[in-house]
């Protein structure tokens, strides 16, 4: 039986999980693939550190370079995270003609284009299924399963921490800060949670999906990112009364037409933000730490992928999928059997957030007195922005009360300008709250 020797860099949650999964199901995979899988070396920072998964001391080293350079190592797994040393590891492995498996979405978001080019130039491959949505095989879906489709829409709940927080806020009527503190105690959120709750983790994953789906590498700086800090219990309650659930979505939408007079491809919206999702839509029922991704292809229509988006076992499962592909490639002597990324639309472009058109939910805190609503609607009218509905809980005249407006389709730029003018009205007592409404059309 052909054998593949894996060198793992990183012995923590992900690296340890992969080692444990191979020990558990390596024999099963060998019987299915006709390839024996063996971990021959594991590079770690501290040999004396206690790890969640026990790795035999004979396999451990603190020198990742010696691991990569070891002629016995056929394949390298990078599971240390970060974008500095990890990038160095990948480039060094590629320079040796060795393929790499990674779960590092931040690295791919920041340096993906460079890394894919380096792999191709050196006859190596880069496998990255575990970088997006944990155990959901979404990379393989886009690269292989739906390769005959143009992707018109991708909607993803791709951050379990944010989904857990928003789910509990809805189900329990709790405030953001209280649920975040519980999530930190339970280990669902980091002590410093900004990567998750400010939307950056979701942006890394959404950018990778957008690049893969549309054939041009999306610059992370062009992704509009908005987290969930501003989502309040009030907004979740008002949204629920109108038949909506608030979810943090990673959104990839291709415009139906290219800009007038342009020879470029139709631009693609690549955004991360909290949005109102109709309760009748399947994504509204995705709760807790689970992820879900809806992919719309022009041939297949809508398809949905659901599962755990993070955690040791879910990530290890995705790595095993890549390990199987890599093992078969090595066995058959194939280079880039399925290229990791093919830049087939180099003229592609990201739609600026100001040009994105959407319906909106707007909450204002206003003084309940005659003329207030008229002044607000006049500003919207001059901006040619339509109002589809108005809701105002009963209050005492002269008090500050919430005013909920559902807005017809408008560009983000036009609505932002109108809200800036509304905020200056004497009757408006707090900065306007604006959330987008996703209709999934």
- Residue 343 has a pLDDT of 74
Find the catalytic residue in 98, 105, 170, 205: 205
- Residue 276 has a pLDDT of 98
Which tokens belong to 205?
């994953």
Low-confidence ranges of the chain (pLDDT < 70): 256-265, 336-339, 395-398
Residue pair 252/204 in contact by the 8 Å Cβ criterion: no
- Residue 405 has a pLDDT of 97
**Of residues 104, 46, 47, 40, the one with CA closest to residue 72:** 40
Residue where the block lists tokens 């980091």: 190
Question: What's the CA gap between 322 and 348, in Å, rounded?
Answer: 28
Q: What would the pLDDT profile of 322-343 be if each residue is shown by its tens digit?
A: 999 999 999 888 776 666 777 7
- Residue 171 has a pLDDT of 95
- Residue 336 has a pLDDT of 65
Query: Where does residue 47 rank: exposed (0-12), middle (13-18), buried (19+ CB within 10 A)?
Result: exposed
- Residue 115 has a pLDDT of 95
- Residue 27 has a pLDDT of 94
Q: What would the pLDDT profile of 72-103 be if each residue is shown by its tens digit?
A: 999 999 999 999 999 999 999 999 999 999 99
- Is position 205 annotated as part of the catalytic site? yes
Q: Which domains does the chain have, with CATH numbers?
A: 2-135+312-332 (3.40.50.720), 140-308 (3.30.360.10), 353-437 (3.30.70.260)
- Residue 142 has a pLDDT of 95
CA 357 to chain centre: 21
Q: What would the pLDDT profile of 367-384 be if each residue is shown by its tens digit?
A: 988 899 999 999 999 999
The greatest distance separating any two alpha carbons of the chain, rounded to the nearest whole angstrom, comes to: 83
E strand or H helix that includes residue 406: strand 400-411
Task: Output the CA torsion sign for 26, 29, 31, 36.
Answer: negative
What is the model's pTM? 0.92
- Residue 257 has a pLDDT of 57
- CA 275 vs CA 213, 434, 436, 437: distances in Å: 22, 10, 5, 5
Question: What's the CA gap between 168 and 299, in Å, rounded?
Answer: 37
Q: What would the pLDDT profile of 194-232 be if each residue is shown by its tens digit?
A: 999 999 999 999 999 999 999 999 999 999 999 999 999
């Amino acid at each position: 039986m052909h054998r593949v020797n894996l060198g793992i860099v990183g012995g923590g949650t992900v690296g340890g999980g992969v080692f444990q999964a191979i020990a558990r199901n390596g024999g099963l995979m060998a019987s299915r693939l006709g390839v024996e899988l063996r971990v021959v070396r594991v590079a770690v920072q501290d040999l004396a550190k206690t790890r969640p998964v026990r790795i035999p001391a004979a396999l451990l080293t603190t020198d990742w370079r010696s691991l990569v350079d070891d002629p016995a190592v056929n394949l390298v797994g990078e599971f240390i995270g970060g974008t500095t040393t990890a990038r160095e590891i990948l480039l060094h492995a590629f320079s040796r003609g060795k393929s790499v498996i990674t779960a590092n979405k931040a690295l791919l978001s920041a340096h993906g284009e460079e890394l894919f080019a380096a792999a191709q130039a050196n006859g190596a491959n880069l496998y990255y299924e575990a970088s997006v949505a944990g155990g959901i095989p979404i990379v393989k879906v886009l690269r292989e399963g739906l390769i005959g489709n143009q992707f018109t829409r991708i909607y993803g709940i791709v951050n379990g921490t944010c989904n857990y927080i928003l789910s509990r806020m809805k189900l329990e009527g709790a405030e953001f800060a209280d649920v975040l503190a519980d999530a930190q105690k339970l280990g669902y959120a980091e002590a410093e949670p900004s990567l998750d709750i400010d939307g950056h983790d979701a942006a890394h994953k959404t950018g990778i999906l957008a690049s893969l789906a549309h054939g041009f590498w999306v610059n992370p700086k062009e992704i509009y990112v908005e987290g969930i800090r501003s989502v309040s219990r009030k907004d979740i309650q008002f949204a629920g009364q109108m038949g909506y659930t608030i979810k943090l979505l990673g959104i990839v939408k291709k415009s139906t037409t290219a800009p007038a007079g342009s020879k470029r491809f139709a631009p693609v919206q690549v955004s991360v933000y909290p949005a109102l999702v109709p309760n009748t839509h399947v994504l509204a029922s995705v709760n807790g730490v689970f992820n879900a991704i809806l992919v719309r292809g022009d041939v297949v229509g809508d398809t949905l992928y659901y599962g755990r988006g993070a955690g040791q076992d879910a990530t290890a499962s995705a790595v095993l999928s890549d390990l199987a592909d890599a093992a078969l490639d090595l066995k058959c002597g194939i280079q880039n059997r399925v290229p990791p990324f093919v830049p087939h639309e180099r003229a592609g472009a990201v739609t600026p957030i100001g040009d994105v058109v959407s319906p909106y939910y707007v909450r204002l805190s206003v003084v309940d007195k005659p003329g207030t609503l008229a002044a607000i609607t006049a500003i919207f009218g001059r901006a040619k922005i339509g109002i589809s509905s108005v809701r105002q809980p009963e209050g005492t005249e002269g008090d500050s009360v919430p005013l909920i407006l559902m807005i017809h389709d408008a560009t983000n730029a036009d609505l932002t300008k109108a809200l800036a003018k509304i905020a200056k009205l004497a009757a408006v007592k707090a900065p306007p709250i604006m959330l987008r409404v996703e209709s999934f059309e």
